[in-house]
Structure 1
């Protein structure tokens, strides 16, 4: 797993002929902006999750984190995060755990992001080219 804060979106070039598979997404946000993460569905025997990070931290339930991992099996269905940032960048990528620790950024991992109004829907793949990008589906809504 990578423990950095991104500044630019990274496209997964392993999916030949596609430029819509994002390995690491960056969303522009304001300092102090709230976002809502909603877990929609999971289609995998592996534990699925996401990592969020900013340059000045993310607050959840009054606790400030440098970065945060939200897992489908331990997080509430909806999580409100307050993002602190100077560079206005929110890093987002999907993760999974098949029993031996969190993994991410594999050769075939990635997300297809669909924007509808103020809600971004992330359709995630963990590993493998034979995918419907439905291993984890979650939304990110910018609240204010």
Structure 2
């Protein structure tokens, strides 16, 4: 049975409260304000984890879609090891919100499972103008937030 999501879901940034003593806020689910037909670039900078690293990028609210490398969809999973290091995205969104969060895949009892939004998952944001750089943790409280580093540049 599906739970009804709050009306604000997908329209504002969510924080991971499990890092209460950290020197800065840890983003669990990023929501970037965009305009209709917004173009952006996604860049994978670095990864440092035994787990496979990636991001989920989506139009979660209202009508809209994304186009990446000629493919059309409302959401995409981009893996650092298989995605080009830089790709351009076009966003069509009648509400003006783009959702982004880090994901990872790990071996759990012989089965590779995709995970996100874990107790100690999250991202630290460093913003310079229209470039948003994210330093990610996949799992575990003791971290340097270096498991995945990626950027989104609004064009």
Is the TM-score greater than 0.5? yes
Q: Structure 1 runs of 4+ off > 3 angstroms?
A: none
Pair 1:51-2:56 in alignment: yes
Q: SS at 1:98's partner residue?
A: strand
CA RMSD of aligned residues (A): 1.4
Between the aligned partners of 2:27 and 2:19, the Cα distance in structure 1 is 10
Task: Tell me which residue corresponds to 1:134.
Answer: 146
What is the deviation of 1:101? Answer: 2.1
Q: Give TM-score, length-normalised by structure 1.
A: 0.93
Pair 1:85-2:93 in alignment: yes
Task: Tell me which residue corresponds to 1:67.
Answer: 75
Task: Tell me which residue corresponds to 2:102.
Answer: 94
What is the deviation of 1:7? Answer: 1.5
What is the deviation of 1:17? Answer: 2.6
Which residues of structure 1 form unaligned runs of 5+?
A: none
Per-residue CA shift, 1:93-119, capped at 9, x if unaligned? 000001322110000000000001211
Q: Give TM-score, length-normalised by structure 2.
A: 0.86
How many residues are paired up? 140
Between the aligned partners of 1:98 and 1:32, the Cα distance in structure 2 is 35
| The structure with more radius of gyration | 2
Task: Tell me which residue corresponds to 1:76.
Answer: 84
Per-residue CA shift, 1:18-48, capped at 9, x if unaligned? 4510000000001111110000000101100
Which residues of structure 2 form unaligned runs of 5+?
A: none
Task: Tell me which residue corresponds to 2:21.
Answer: 17
